[in-house]
Amino acid sequence: MERITELNRRYGIPHQVSFSQEPNGFVFVDVTNPQATARIALQGAQIIHWSPKGEAPVIWLSEAASFLPGKSIRGGAPVCWPWFGPHETQRDFPAHGFARTTLWEISGVESRPDGTTKLVFHLPESATPKNQWPHASTLESHITIGAHLEVDLVTRNQGNHPLTLGQALHTYFQVGDIRTVRLHGLDGCSYLDKVDGGVCKVQQGAVNFTQETDRIYLGTTHNVVIEDPQMQRQIHIAKRGSASTVVWNPWIEKAAKMGDLGENGYLHMVCVENANAAEDVVMLAPETDHHLWVRYSTTALTST
Ligand code: TA6
């Protein structure tokens, strides 16, 4: 318990930022400010809740999510790094990399003049499995909590050779009913359809959801918008430093097999992930940084 006392002493801000620990050791940081509330797990620096003031949660968390050290959490905004999906050659390496199941450390907290709260987390070098990632690099996540949610994932190549970097902010967004949701901004874009053997197709119009959907839209550096008529809102997803947009809903059968999406959980979530995956992976030169930056915001959907 002294760890939590020390974290609150060093980084806590009364009535704004506080740390807590579950009996199994899981550490959370809770943020409350005039614009929003949020909760972040220290494991993976994973945002698991964000609600702008007076709004329903924007980030979805499974009611059946388990918080077990070293196990991925179902929901929130998992950090997939330093690869996306299965490892290219080592099938026994964890899917989506090791960052999301590793215990990060907090290195800064700031109550900002504009009313937002900024937290900086880093992946400890000592926690990086050298057999999986034998490279000199650092990873930080700069999270700004307010009416908008901003995440800046910063990778630094400290070595003397280029790094191939796959990554994603694998964010689960809360929606009223996936069957009525439409995702705008990908019309005409090419995508790999992982539900159809990975064949390359071209998106026609808005993305809607009538079955398991698992797509990597390539060469998509632009913003997209989730239209949710049931919750009467739009979720705006702005990004920089990401060339792939991954769209995923497991639908009925896959959700049942996965077992941790909760009763009909698939109906209330959609993953829209800002990524660098497949042929969009980043070649990071020595002594350079890469920023994967996103900003989530919401607007009311006026019923037309
Ligand atoms: O981003 C979509 C995806 O790659 C799907 O193929 C599915 O595996 C999903 O991620 C969840 O992966 P996880 O390892 O968190 O169960």
Looking at every residue in the chain, the average pLDDT score rounds to 97
pLDDT at 304: 57
- Residue 171, pLDDT above cutoff 90: yes
Q: Count of H helices and E strands in the chain? A: 2, 23
pLDDT at 172: 98
Residue with the smallest CA separation from ligand 1 atom 10 is 85
Indicate the DSSP class of residue 11: H
pLDDT at 303: 64
CB-CB contact of 20 with 39 (8 Å): no
Distance from residue 74's CA to the centre of ligand 1 (Å)? 10
- Ligand 1 interacting residues, C-beta cut-off 6 A: 72, 85, 95-96, 170, 194, 214, 246, 248, 271, 273
Give me the half-sphere count of Cα atoms (radius 13 Å) on the Cβ side of residue 158.
Answer: 8
Torsion of CA 52, 56, 62, 67, to 10 degrees: 40
Distance from residue 85's CA to the centre of ligand 1 (Å)? 7
The per-residue pLDDT for range 224-257, each reduced to its tens digit, is 999 999 999 999 999 999 999 999 999 999 999 9
pLDDT at 109: 98
The per-residue pLDDT for range 92-117, each reduced to its tens digit, is 999 999 999 999 999 999 999 999 99
Percent of the chain with pLDDT over 70: 99
141: alpha, beta or left? (left if phi > 0; alpha if psi -120 to 50): beta
Q: Catalytic pick from 273, 279, 287, 291? A: 273
Indicate the DSSP class of residue 106: E
Place 1 in a pLDDT band, splitting at 50, 70 and 90.
low
The mean pLDDT value for 2-24 works out to: 95
Distance from residue 80's CA to the centre of ligand 1 (Å)? 10
Atom of ligand 1 nearest to the CA of 275: 1
The per-residue pLDDT for range 261-287, each reduced to its tens digit, is 999 999 999 999 999 999 999 999 999
The mean pLDDT value for 116-130 works out to: 97
